[in-house]
Structure 1
């Protein structure tokens, strides 16, 4: 037995043996070839945080993404890789002519896991719970957004829901009804949740009676060491002929505590999928060292799949440091994104000069944006032009080679998540070589500092649009230019009233409106002219698959869904329905 396999088995044994001490009911035995073992990354923690917390609307619910998410089915899934809507609990939706109402037709025959019928009353209950909270004390996830957008909800019959909006919104369904990446609502059984305090109800029972869900899975164990889901053979979809039962009979989640250990365990076959390995060199070595390990793109670059999260170097416009557009333009000239990608990712992550993910639905907007990027030289590495701008502003190099004016250098806190530990130092060195006095940091405080606007610079991704550009454009709306100290994970905090007015116009029209493309171009011209941030690269999820027991993972040839299993939307539930047992 190889050292890799020994270390993998030992780690797995430690994780699984932890269940011996649990006062839990005995689990049925399920063969390894019917078990999918996942290794999600809970912030690098050696144990899952807040196990047994299966209330989808509590912010403290840190493990919901790989416990409740896959088993709480949405009305619709969305596959960004094919720009494809996948009806699930609902059959269709439609807008009124003025986009102030959305009518949803639910699927007949859907049952909750306790045998009760799922119908419009459960949708109404969920909405009214969120509306009451969002218009009142607050504290529930999505509640304030629902309250901001939804006037009321009615049901003319058990399979029809009518959502009345406060203002025209042609993208409302894509925000709350169509689950993808981190977006989408989860529907609650009224007969279980009625009378419960949604701010304290954890929605979990060790005997398996909670949560009550519509999905093909039940949570049979939720502990710091393991989260285990077992297939429900009485799932409504199989009983009605909607879909066959999944091949996967059990899903075991164990914590990912490091890229190297995760790589060892997927090579040895002790886990089937791991959280993002991030590193192109590591992922390349993994797929080359084992015939039974592959990725979305196989053993070819980028060793994974494009995500909705293109990365940028963000300048915090609320600190005052970056008020002069010439300084922001100089920062763009000083960053060599191609060098960064070549060193950190073996050239496998595409360089990006826009804030948009490189999905097919975005192609015309990216085309227009690249033309504007050329015009304003955003994404052009030219330190000499940056130096000229610095001198024009009155800066001069000091004895340490740093730009200085009135006794002060251009400096400040520069943070990013641990995901960027390979990228951040390279970027910081590029800036220091140019005379910008910064050092990259990543620690347990980094995310909190970024959220509160207490950094000068940060590296992060865009959580914006995937089917059309509106949600990305909306990130830069003046409403998001909140003061330092106010929590908001939108890192530029930039405001331009003319830009915001154009975005408001875009929000009122349908994505297929002929005005869409020229309006987006008009907004993006302001964005580039103001050098709002420094675009870097597209993000790639590098998720290794072990194919010993399972086949039909999402791939370049069969891109039926994003493979990441940690998105809060629960979209990995669709992947679970498509995996095929090899034995």
Structure 2
């Protein structure tokens, strides 16, 4: 409980609200924003002093209680300036000219070309591939399993066999990436669980690229290739339009071309409402998305796929977060519930994990694709002490709740 709910990590942690401000207020209506009153306020060493559409300032609180009580020293960063992110190329220009200290993670090709332009720029792995670290957000290829033909696991497997994951990584990322067989980050704490299902992965090889097996499954389900070489049934072609954000603009087109080669009419696009379509369950194709859940205990990712989270609630697909596939299996639910009642680290969890993944891999509610890397450029011109593979005290994502740990480590370079 302490680790999963009270400790800040990545995007997670319990946010404590000041009772004297929120008491009697409707949290859905109360904006809690008034710079003259010092709102929003918090327990950290920074306060918001400017918030506009073009920039945001957070200034150091010289009267911070933590320094007064000797709990911690004041950070040496006096002002944090956030500016809007436009695109990778513009960001790379700003980094190359020392106008930015850090940015959102860049695409592999961009950061590989950027690093030689400014020797002061580093990544978590310095100037070496994969130019970053594994995030807790492994990416899958998602489909709505309540829509035909994706409600048939055999068709989902046909789609998986049509994907050459390593080939996509080689083309889009110049090899600087890693495929994944499971919806879990490749973290040491989770390795015993991954190792425990090697027999299942041999039986259900979801990273295998096999066009013949894909075609076999499609044919067995009544599909045949039309005159253009695409799978169709009853005179209707199966179209797999892939949606995603700009972060997949490099690998998305590669994957769609692989699917076309396998006989699935496909394209990659980024409509502004694509995520709403996925949440509403109206998109009939596929999309990219990650899993923000387990980092040490396998339960949390499994919980995302329980029936509780497959039931649409308002405009979303569940109360647990990320279950966009709308998949439901009662036997799977029962196993996950048993796991919920066993302490983390209990050896019985290994057996239950194996039982749950036997169902999950056979059904394949989504298609594991790649580990997600944060390839964050960090500028050492003005600041040193960024987290790296040689001093991995924290992840480097400033948009995560752990960024204050980085701020306390940064020291002026000049």
Task: State TM-score, norm by structure 1.
Answer: 0.68
User: Aligned partners of 1:477 and 1:319: how far apart in 2?
Assistant: 18
Does the CA contact (< 8 Å) of 2:190 and 2:297 recur in 1? yes
Residues 128-277 of structure 1: matches in 2 within 5 Å? 172-207=1-36, 209-277=38-106
Does the CA contact (< 8 Å) of 1:354 and 1:369 recur in 2? no
User: What's the CA shift for 1:413?
Assistant: 4.3
Provide structure 1 residue ranges, at least 5 long, that are not aligned to the other structure.
1-171
Does the CA contact (< 8 Å) of 1:450 and 1:491 recur in 2? yes
User: Aligned partners of 2:394 and 2:267: how far apart in 1?
Assistant: 38
Which residue in 2 is equivalent to 1:105?
A: none
Q: Does 1:299 align with 2:106?
A: no
User: Aligned partners of 1:433 and 1:269: how far apart in 2?
Assistant: 44
User: What's the CA shift for 1:472?
Assistant: 0.7
Which residue in 2 is equivalent to 1:504?
A: 337
Match of residue 374, structure 1, among 187, 202, 213: 202
Q: Does 1:524 align with 2:357?
A: yes
Q: Does 1:580 align with 2:373?
A: no
User: What's the CA shift for 1:175?
Assistant: 4.5
Which residue in 2 is equivalent to 1:53?
A: none
User: What's the CA shift for 1:371?
Assistant: 3.6
Which residue in 2 is equivalent to 1:159?
A: none
SS of 2:176's partner is coil
User: What's the CA shift for 1:447?
Assistant: 1.5
SS of 2:255's partner is helix
SS of 2:140's partner is strand
Match of residue 469, structure 1, among 291, 298, 314: 298
Residues 415-426 of structure 1: matches in 2 within 5 Å? 415-426=243-254
Q: Does 1:448 align with 2:273?
A: no
Task: State TM-score, norm by structure 2.
Answer: 0.94
SS of 2:239's partner is coil
SS of 2:196's partner is helix
Does the CA contact (< 8 Å) of 2:240 and 2:264 recur in 1? no
User: Aligned partners of 2:314 and 2:233: how far apart in 1?
Assistant: 27
> After superposition, what is the alpha-carbon deviation per residue over 1:63-96, rounded to whole angstroms, capped at 9, x for unaligned?
xxxxxxxxxxxxxxxxxxxxxxxxxxxxxxxxxx
Match of residue 150, structure 2, among 294, 300, 322: 322
User: What's the CA shift for 1:209?
Assistant: 2.4
User: Aligned partners of 1:526 and 1:519: how far apart in 2?
Assistant: 11
Does the CA contact (< 8 Å) of 1:315 and 1:533 recur in 2? yes
Aligned CA distance change for structure 1 residues 581 and 208 (closer, same or farther; 3 Å):
farther
Higher Rg of the two aligned structures: 1
User: Aligned partners of 2:372 and 2:80: how far apart in 1?
Assistant: 27
SS of 1:251's partner is strand
Residues 34-113 of structure 1: matches in 2 within 5 Å? none
Which residue in 2 is equivalent to 1:436?
A: 264
User: What's the CA shift for 1:193?
Assistant: 2.7
Count of residues in correspondence between the two structures: 409
User: What's the CA shift for 1:362?
Assistant: 0.8
Residues 547-566 of structure 1: matches in 2 within 5 Å? 547-566=380-399
Which residue in 2 is equivalent to 1:336?
A: 164
User: What's the CA shift for 1:382?
Assistant: 0.7
User: Aligned partners of 1:225 and 1:255: how far apart in 2?
Assistant: 6
Residues 346-357 of structure 1: matches in 2 within 5 Å? 346-357=174-185
User: Aligned partners of 1:305 and 1:264: how far apart in 2?
Assistant: 23
Which residue in 2 is equivalent to 1:112?
A: none
Which residue in 2 is equivalent to 1:540?
A: 373
User: Aligned partners of 1:485 and 1:333: how far apart in 2?
Assistant: 34
Pairwise CA RMSD of aligned residues?
1.7
Aligned CA distance change for structure 1 residues 264 and 235 (closer, same or farther; 3 Å):
same
Does the CA contact (< 8 Å) of 1:453 and 1:484 recur in 2? no
User: What's the CA shift for 1:400?
Assistant: 0.8
User: What's the CA shift for 1:412?
Assistant: 4.8
Does the CA contact (< 8 Å) of 2:145 and 2:152 recur in 1? no
User: What's the CA shift for 1:229?
Assistant: 0.9
